Structure 1
Amino acid sequence: MKMRNVLLFALAVLLLAALAGCAPTENADANTTPQQTQNTSVNRPDTDRSGNPITLPDQVDSIISMAPSATQTLLDLGMKDKLIAVDTYSAMYFGLEDLPTFDMMEPDTEQMAVLGADLIFTTGMSASSGADPFKPLRDISVCVADIPSASSIETMLEDTRFIAACVGAQETCESLIAQFQEELDQLSDIGAGIQDRKRVVVEIACAPDIYTAGSGTFMQEMLTVIGAENIFADQEGFVAVTEESVITLNPDVILTMVDYVEDPVAEILGRTGWEHVTAVANGDVYLVNTNAVSLPNLHVIDGMKQMAKMIYPEAYAEIENPFAGEAAA
């Protein structure tokens, strides 16, 4: 087992588990929109996405990002030159190994303070133990902006606008969101017209400890938009399920985002007792791009395109596969 793949898998599971809510919050509602929290006199946020009060410096020239989803958004917004440090996963995912890195789960806040960043973006994952590791930075008036993992596409858009407002990139942000919305509408229009809807399961972790997505998750929303039915939509959040339950529900398609086994598709196709599952019998088992279906930002549109073409290749024939010719994970 390659260590890189172990880390990628661990991150994916942690990202999804974080949706249950572990972000540090001092007062306001974590789902408050950027429009509601902005200081209208300067059109900049005065609370973060967890509801904590923040005071942004007049000019943001140096940024630390402690979440891959936020890092990718900052790169999309053209902020690469302002990044002075990132979490280890961001460095690995996005070719930022030259920057100082911090452990997302045990960040060295003393060293962060030495770097003197104008703004630090964090995620509730860092507070999964129950304590806020960034409190020492907040106590010395460092601007720390927390963004809980999004549970819906709409929340992703709000998070993107929040990040853009913090760094003064609203115009670029709205252009990106307009493109995202256009592509989302295209997928939604096709999905709405699908009559014979296929029943799907997405494996986040493979047998014997299968982990998947239920309702109240952005992954559920992704499947709904493209016209697929999640066989575990009756369950809430991200859940562990048994092999027997998957076999009994008999999915038409199995999607896996597992990248910690050598050949996850072959592993599923070779499972004992699964040979009569429709997806296995028909060979409708596919590996999806892990980042595109697990990082809650605008790049989920690429994951949706890939899933759509795997599940309904004819209906989505005119949609370009963003990962054509690439390894899925």
Structure 2
Amino acid sequence: MRRYLPVFLALLIAVSAFAPAGAAQSNGGSETVACEFPLEVTDATGEQITLDERPESVVALQPSDAQTMFEIGAEDRLVGMPDNPATSDLELGNRTAVTDTYQLVPERVIDLDPDLVLAANATEKESIEQLRNAGLTVYHFETAESIDDVRSNVVTTGELTGECDGARATVDWMDRQLAVVDRVLESVDRPLAYYAMGDGYTAGSGTFIHEAMTTAGVENVADRADIQGYGQINPETVVDENPEWIIYPDDRSEPPIHQSVEATTAFQNDNVLAVNANQMSQPAPQIVYAIVDIVETVHPDAYEQASDDLDGTNESDTDPADGEPAESPIPGFGVVATLVALLAVVGFVSRRR
């Protein structure tokens, strides 16, 4: 991640301290997190999950499960997680790798005998049944179709693991950032963009990736083509729509587009953006980073305006290396607002190191 991004996020946190209360509410800020055990919940498979007490050992089956555990500050109880490029930003440490690259190895999970297993919706149901038949408690998440669903995943993970303070703080951080993004993009023109996933696949309506794109201020070609969910789009359709931007996950060296798409305005003008695949492709909190990255590239004036909202703020207010605030307070803030903003930055950034 580039060093300037944490600085911008720090600015967003502080700016949002002055946002109208309704702004965060409109982005899901009404979410509540309650940690009470015994806990009884029903998961996406209709299975009733009962936890008598806070789980002390947790296994994450998918990268998004692991990312959320780290984000809410529950990684100290994470004993197993995937080990592949999709978790390259997370520290495996002495945790057990429950995958051979992308292939889940259920036997490794069973050997760990964890108190709780988190399974994002991408997990095969056969694997879930194998783990349940071995006596493990497995929570299978619903498919994330929106940013609100990502928030719900965070809340649910917090409740299941008893890490409600961390879940609440993470959702609050997401809401604050997105409230500022919404505000600065309110009157901008929204260029047409094509999200290329490879082999002709793209993200259509009813996906959190589609909502991430529209939140970041672009119109989605797949939506115009009436693609629902993740599906293939005819390259001729892309050429006919002639998008101004091509966006793709950076887990490949070049945009995965059909040769004919090179005739579009986007490709001809080199309006091609690679976004962090681990942030854009996972229904987890770091989707906010990908949204901000798109805003910074596609809407540089709006991005700059968000920074200018804190006139006089020094980029050294937060050290990206350790999240520690600089000695001087942020100019123009009351003491309380300054402390709230800086504490939010410290708490959020430190969890990513």
TM-score (norm 2): 0.70
Change (3 A) 1:49 1:192: farther
Q: Which residue of 1 aligns with 2:228?
A: 236
State the secondary structure of the residue aligned to 1:254. Answer: strand
Counterpart residue type for residue 279 of structure 2: A
Counterpart residue type for residue 140 of structure 2: D
Q: Give the alignment partner of residue 226 of structure 1, picking from 194, 207, 216.
A: 216
Partner Cα distance (1:139, 1:273) in 2: 50
Change (3 A) 1:279 1:108: closer
Report the alpha carbon displacement of residue 235 of structure 1 after superposing the two structures with TM: 1.5
Report the alpha carbon displacement of residue 276 of structure 1 after superposing the two structures with TM: 4.2
Change (3 A) 1:190 1:235: same
Counterpart residue type for residue 97 of structure 2: T
Q: Which residue of 1 aligns with 2:18?
A: none
Identity %: 24
The 5 A counterparts of 1:18-167 are: 42=37, 44-89=39-84, 92-96=88-92, 98-103=94-99, 107-127=104-124, 131-167=125-161
Counterpart residue type for residue 170 of structure 1: C
Partner Cα distance (1:185, 1:297) in 2: 18
Report the alpha carbon displacement of residue 126 of structure 1 after superposing the two structures with TM: 2.7
Deviations 1:281-318 (A, max 9, x none): 22211111111111101111111000112211112224
Deviations 1:10-41 (A, max 9, x none): xxxxxxxxxxxxxxxxxxxxxxxx989x9x97
Q: Give the alignment partner of residue 182 of structure 2, picking from 180, 188, 191.
A: 188
Partner Cα distance (1:136, 1:142) in 2: 9
Q: Which residue of 1 aligns with 2:239?
A: 247
Counterpart residue type for residue 238 of structure 1: Y
Moved more, 160-169 or 145-154: 145-154
Partner Cα distance (1:310, 1:117) in 2: 43
Q: Contact (CA 8 Å) 1:66, 1:102: kept in 2 or not? A: yes
Deviations 1:108-158 (A, max 9, x none): 43442332211111133231xxx5223243235421111134111111111
Change (3 A) 1:200 1:136: closer
State the secondary structure of the residue aligned to 2:239. Answer: helix
Whether 1:282 aligns to 2:282 is no
Report the alpha carbon displacement of residue 319 of structure 1 after superposing the two structures with TM: 4.7
Q: Give the alignment partner of residue 312 of structure 1, picking from 286, 299, 303.
A: 299
Counterpart residue type for residue 96 of structure 2: P
Counterpart residue type for residue 275 of structure 2: V
Q: Which residue of 2 aligns with 1:24?
A: none
Q: Contact (CA 8 Å) 1:190, 1:226: kept in 2 or not? A: no
What's the RMSD between the two structures over aligned residues?
A: 2.8
Whether 1:199 aligns to 2:199 is no
State the secondary structure of the residue aligned to 1:297. Answer: coil
Q: Which residue of 1 aligns with 2:280?
A: 293
Q: Contact (CA 8 Å) 2:202, 2:230: kept in 1 or not? A: yes
Report the alpha carbon displacement of residue 218 of structure 1 after superposing the two structures with TM: 1.0
Partner Cα distance (2:140, 2:259) in 1: 45
Change (3 A) 1:281 1:73: same
Unaligned ranges ≥5, structure 1: 1-33, 325-329
Q: Which residue of 1 aligns with 2:172?
A: 178
Change (3 A) 1:156 1:49: farther
Counterpart residue type for residue 161 of structure 1: V
Change (3 A) 1:76 1:169: same
Unaligned ranges ≥5, structure 2: 1-30, 308-319, 321-353
Partner Cα distance (2:78, 2:130) in 1: 21
Deviations 1:194-238 (A, max 9, x none): 1x3211111111xxx321111111111112223311112022111
Counterpart residue type for residue 172 of structure 2: A
State the secondary structure of the residue aligned to 2:237. Answer: helix
Partner Cα distance (1:319, 1:91) in 2: 30
Q: Which residue of 1 aligns with 2:206?
A: 216
Q: Which residue of 2 aligns with 1:11?
A: none
Moved more, 100-109 or 244-253: 100-109
TM-score (norm 1): 0.75
Report the alpha carbon displacement of residue 106 of structure 1 after superposing the two structures with TM: 5.3
